[in-house]
Chain A
Amino acid sequence: MNETRRRARVALRRQHRPVSIIGVLGEIFLTAGVVCFLFLGWQLWLNDLVVGNEQRSNALDLVEEWNSAPTASATPAAPVAPDGDANVEPVDHGEPIVRTAPATAKAFATLYVPRFGAEYVRVIGEGVSLSKVLNNAELGVGHYPDTQMPGAIGNFAVAAHRTTWGAPFRDIGSLRPGDKIYVQTEDGWYTYGYRSLEYVRPTGVDVLQPVPQAPGAAAADRIITLTSCNPLFSAAERIIAYGVLESWQPTSAGAPAELAGTLNAGG
């Protein structure tokens, strides 16, 4: 008796109900909806982590390459201990070395912003092409070709994503006056002090002028300008961060003390 019932149940389960088109369509739509949300999660979060990590390790590789190059034979001196050096007179290393701009999409500098994280480091490539520089797991931060190079009098302007593609400038809005923005090249370290934020329209190209927003003015300061999209998850405006060069030191003088953790973490 029991056995017959069980068989009947199994038979019922095996029996193929007619597949309704509406039912299949519904399941396809539901699946598509779930895939859309998965894509958003991937694009705005998971992929940023993956690509961000890749950009970071690429930056550390580039630094490693510079350190092992014969031109940088002088071993970097150990950074000065961060405690108690406030009263030490900063060494004057003279005029910063300014290179000529490299070829498009070539990596030529690294960017450190402790406010973006103690381990934050990204590669700066030449150009602001999306496909060649910005949407790129190797570079990520791009230098506006017609602006000056690091350390030069004028404006060293760079762009990067605030969301997607590693989001190098995700936390650009959290910069506070006095925060340091370090740029490293094969020649040495350029320490910029963050000054202010500005919000402009996407056509606000005057932020790239040697004196930002003052076309034609004679440049005297060495400025860094970071541009990204604003508001978050939109491209309606641009967020602009300015900094001014505070000091320069050649590679032989070692890394700025604040970056000791960043560099050791990678080594």
Chain B
Amino acid sequence: MYASLWRLLPGPLWLRILLAVVLVIVALWALVTFLFPWLNGFFNTYDVTVDE
């Protein structure tokens, strides 16, 4: 999968490395902005109140 992605990247080696780094940063940004806050809604495990 990652090998195929790497082959899809155009240009010389330095450009491919640059593009790969950019792709990783975009992926991390998407995780932090969309996936993680959404996932967080399912983790109300740390209850802090006392109740009956």
Verify B49–A227 contact, CB threshold 8 A. yes
Check A229–B50 contact: CB distance below 8 A: no
Chain B residues 3 to 36 lying within 8 A of chain A, measured CB to CB, are 3-4, 7, 28, 31-32, 35-36
Q: Name the B residues within 8 Å of A169 (CB-CB).
A: 48
Whether A14 contacts B7 by the Cβ 8 Å rule is yes
A205, chain B: closest CB distance, angstroms: 5
CB-CB contacts of A13-38 with B at 8 A, as 1s and 0s? Answer: 01011010001100110000001001
Contact (Cβ within 8 A) A159 B52: no
- Judge whether A47 and B51 touch: CB under 8 Å: no
Smallest Cβ-Cβ distance to A128: which chain B residue: B49
Q: How many A-B residue pairs have CB under 8 A?
A: 78
- Chain B residues within 8 Å of A144, by CB: 49
Q: Closest CB of chain B to A126's CB: distance in Å?
A: 14
Instruction: Determine the chain B residues whose CB is within 8 A of the CB of A234 once the complex forms.
Output: 46
Residue contact A42 to B46, C-beta cutoff 8 Å: no
Q: Could you say which of A16, A130, A161, A203 contacts B50, with CB atoms under 8 Å apart?
A: A203
Q: Which chain A residues numbered 147 to 165 have a C-beta less than 8 Å away from chain B?
A: 159-164
Contact of A227 among B44, B45, B48 (CB under 8 A): B48
Decide if A38 touches B31 in the complex (CB within 8 Å). Answer: yes
Instruction: Give the number of chain B interface residues (Cβ < 8 Å).
Output: 22
* Residues on B with beta carbons closer than 8 Å to the beta carbon of A42: 31-32, 36
* B43 neighbours in A (Cβ, 8 Å): 43, 164
Taking CB atoms and an 8 Å cut-off, the chain A residues in 1-20 that contact chain B are: 14, 16-17, 19
Collect the chain B residues with CB atoms within 8 Å of residue A159's CB: 48-49
Residues of B within 8 A of A235 (CB): 45-48
A200 on interface, CB distance cutoff 8 Å: yes
A228 proximal to B (CB < 8 A) = yes
Which residue on B lies nearest to A50, using beta carbons?
B32
Chain A residues within an 8 Å CB radius of B50: 200, 202-205, 207-208, 227, 238, 240
Contact residues in A for B35 (Cβ distance below 8 Å):
35, 39
Taking a contact as CB atoms under 8 Å apart, the answer to whether A130 and B2 are in contact is no
Name B's A-contacting residues (CB within 8 A).
Answer: 1-4, 7, 28, 31-32, 35-36, 39-40, 43-52
Interchain residue pairs with CB less than 8 A apart (30): A19-B4, A23-B1, A24-B1, A27-B1, A35-B31, A35-B35, A38-B28, A38-B31, A39-B35, A42-B31, A42-B32, A42-B36, A128-B49, A130-B44, A159-B49, A160-B48, A161-B46, A164-B40, A200-B50, A202-B51, A227-B48, A227-B49, A229-B46, A229-B47, A233-B46, A234-B46, A235-B45, A235-B46, A235-B47, A238-B49
